[in-house]
Chains A and B, each alone.
Chain A
Amino acid sequence: MSVLLGLFSLVAIGAGVFFFVAGTLALLRFPDSLSRLHALTKADNLGLGLVVLGLLPRAGSPLAALKLIVLWAIVQLSSATVAQLIGGALRRQDAAE
């Protein structure tokens, strides 16, 4: 059982790392701001989400696990909102130009 859980952690964390790498590559390589924003939110949400998922079996207590989930939810909330705000700011800037 613990071997399975360990494997699960490894796979989830590995996938999380992948999304961070992909998000960063996209931030560096994508041609315009809006598509970079799109890529960034993937790294924010999926990357951190998968890392948290992978760490859940290793959390010492149910409360510690809950803390991890709350943390992820907070990042979800604020990063999604910030993406929306940045998108809006981009559109206003483009309209002004």
Chain B
Amino acid sequence: MILFDLGLAVLVLGVAAWTIAAREMFSAVVGYVAYGLLLAIVWVRLYAPDVALTEAAIGSGVTGVLLVVASKRLSLLPQADAPPGRGLKRAAAALSVLVAGVLAAAVLTLPDPAPSLAPEADRELAATGLGNAVTAVLIAYRSFDTMLEKVVLVLAVVGVWSVAPDRFWGGRPAPLGPPRPDAALVFLARVLAPIGIVIGVQMFWVGADEPGGAFQGGAILAAMAMIVMMARLTEPPRIDSGRLRLALIAGPAVFLVVGLAGPLMAGSFFAYPAGFAKPLILFIEGFMVLSIAVTLPLLVAGPPSRKGEE
């Protein structure tokens, strides 16, 4: 067991070192994708399957697509990097060793017994009707936090869009795939997407009781939307589409409305009425899944880069 963990630790650190030492940008990016996969296994070893699933779907899968595409586009331009000076390297190394050392010391001197909110989380779990404590924390105990995080996602989309040149405002992002995609890719998208949609919805649904939830299910749905776009079966939508914008804000908006109704229904902001918590939580999560599934592909597709008249 301990050998497995040690081996995994060496692997993760080794791949991380490779991503920063690689000479070419592309191999650094490939190293980062491998790193994300390994990290998901580390999370499983830390008894965090929910985090592992998020890391596998977003940290490795969706981020991998984003980075591979970006590195491919950037590699078309001339690289003009002067190698860093020796002084800078030494100073940076000293700083890094210092920070890592302090962190490692902090890890060794964590308070014992460890502070924990697990008993509190467990005490009210029955009242929420959920079986997965992580979902309960996300949507019930710390719901305000999660709602704001959804707002951050919308802001990120606005930020990405605002990078567009004025003349393309309201148009479509660049296509994710080649003009004439390989027939095998089209086949993969046609077969994998329906299966993935079922699995994504299932992961959201079982997230109430088992590892899974709105983030993980939404990320898998988003990935399916991306593969369909990579196969050019559909195009990234025009960013001025009303339906698109509605889907983008549906998650945080529904969350906020339910939260604001809290004082009327249950006596406090973001409180759920007793006995009615679980259906309400699933209702909110449903819209969150929709928003996440729309947001992530838009973030990967980037700013609009063509008018896209139809």
Contacts and interface: CB of A to CB of B under 8 A. Distances in A.
Per the CB under 8 Å rule, do A and B touch in the complex?
yes
Interface stretch (B15-23, B31-39, B69-77, B185-193): B185-193
Contacts of A70: 195
A72 to B, nearest CB: 13
Contacts of B195: 70, 74
Contacts of A88: 182, 184
B182 A84 contact: yes
Interface string A76-90: 011001001100100
Contacts of A78: 188, 192
A81 B184 CA distance: 6
A51 to B, nearest CB: 15
A85 B184 contact: yes
Contacts, number: 19
B192 A85 contact: no
B206 to A, nearest CB: 11
Interface string B60-73: 00000000000000
B182 A77 contact: no
Contacts of B182: 84-85, 88
Main secondary structure of the interface of B (DSSP, over half): helix
A70 B192 CA distance: 12
A77 B184 contact: no
A38 to B, nearest CB: 16
Main secondary structure of the interface of A (DSSP, over half): helix
Interface in A55-97: 70, 74, 77-78, 81, 84-85, 88
Contacts of B184: 81, 84-85, 88
A85 B227 CA distance: 14
A51 B84 CA distance: 48
B243 to A, nearest CB: 30
A85 B195 CA distance: 20
Contacts of B192: 74, 77-78
Most B C-beta atoms less than 10 A away, residue of A70, A74, A81, A85: A81
Contacts of B185: 81, 85
A69 to B, nearest CB: 13
A85 B184 CA distance: 7
Contacts of B191: 77
A74 B224 CA distance: 13
Contacts of A84: 182, 184
Interface string B158-202: 000000000000000000000000101101100110010000000
A77 B184 CA distance: 10
A94 to B, nearest CB: 16
A85 B189 CA distance: 13
Interface of A: 70, 74, 77-78, 81, 84-85, 88
19 contacts: A70-B195, A74-B192, A74-B195, A77-B188, A77-B191, A77-B192, A78-B188, A78-B192, A81-B184, A81-B185, A81-B187, A81-B188, A84-B182, A84-B184, A85-B182, A85-B184, A85-B185, A88-B182, A88-B184
